[in-house]
């Protein structure tokens, strides 16, 4: 892990307290009739009371829009730190989907704002640092520059509205 990544990992630890896994009902973003939400909550259930490792992140990384604000509060600290590991660098997929989820196009900004609504401004600031860190790496700067810029702008906008 690079020096920058180590510093960021410590900031993530300090900013995001670990909480227990929410109940299946609390994990689902869409309250009724969304099969993806239902499947996801059922699949995640098999990880309850276990150590959160890469298997859990792989389970849902393509379905982040179906996770509730509370579910993100639970899983994001693990997810962010996973993205800083060599394993995540090698795979790339999980980090890529997280970038997309934090960089909504205008149409989905309200959705993502809602999903991030349980995070305080310090936590949003660390999310923005995470995106800035990725933008500083050769790989992500060449692969997702537009999304990373959009994500940083979106998170900055959230911070301004939280400070009001």
> What residues line the site for Zn ion (CB under 5 A)?
30, 34, 36-37, 66
CB of 64 to Zn ion, least distance (A): 11
Question: Which CB atom, from 61 or from 66, has the smaller least distance to Zn ion?
Answer: 66
Distance CA 6, CA 90 (A): 18
CB of 11 to Zn ion, least distance (A): 31
The DSSP call for residue 83 is T
% helix, strand, coil for the chain, step of 5? 70, 0, 25
* Alpha-carbon distances of 55 from 30, 58, 66, 95, rounded to whole Å: 23, 5, 18, 14
Question: Which CB atom, from 10 or from 30, has the smaller least distance to Zn ion?
Answer: 30
CB of 39 to Zn ion, least distance (A): 9
CB of 72 to Zn ion, least distance (A): 14
Residue 119's φ and ψ, nearest 5 degrees, are -90, 140
Question: Which CB atom, from 34 or from 118, has the smaller least distance to Zn ion?
Answer: 34
Question: Which CB atom, from 44 or from 134, has the smaller least distance to Zn ion?
Answer: 44
């Amino acid at each position: 892990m690079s020096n920058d990544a180590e510093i960021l990992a410590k900031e993530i630890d300090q900013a995001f307290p670990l909480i227990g896994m929410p109940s299946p009902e609390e994990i689902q973003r869409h309250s009724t009739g969304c099969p993806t939400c239902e499947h996801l909550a059922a699949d995640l259930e098999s990880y309850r009371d276990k150590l959160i490792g890469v298997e859990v992140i792989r389970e849902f990384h393509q379905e982040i829009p179906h996770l509730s604000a509370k579910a993100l509060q639970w899983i994001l600290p693990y997810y962010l730190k996973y993205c800083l590991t060599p394993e995540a660098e090698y795979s790339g997929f999980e980090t890529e989907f997280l970038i997309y989820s934090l960089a909504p196009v205008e149409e989905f900004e309200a959705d993502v704002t809602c999903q991030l609504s349980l995070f305080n401004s310090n936590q949003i600031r660390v999310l923005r640092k995470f995106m800035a860190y990725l933008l500083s790496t050769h790989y992500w700067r060449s692969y997702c520059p537009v999304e990373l810029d959009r994500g940083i702008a979106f998170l900055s906008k959230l911070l301004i509205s939280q400070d009001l």
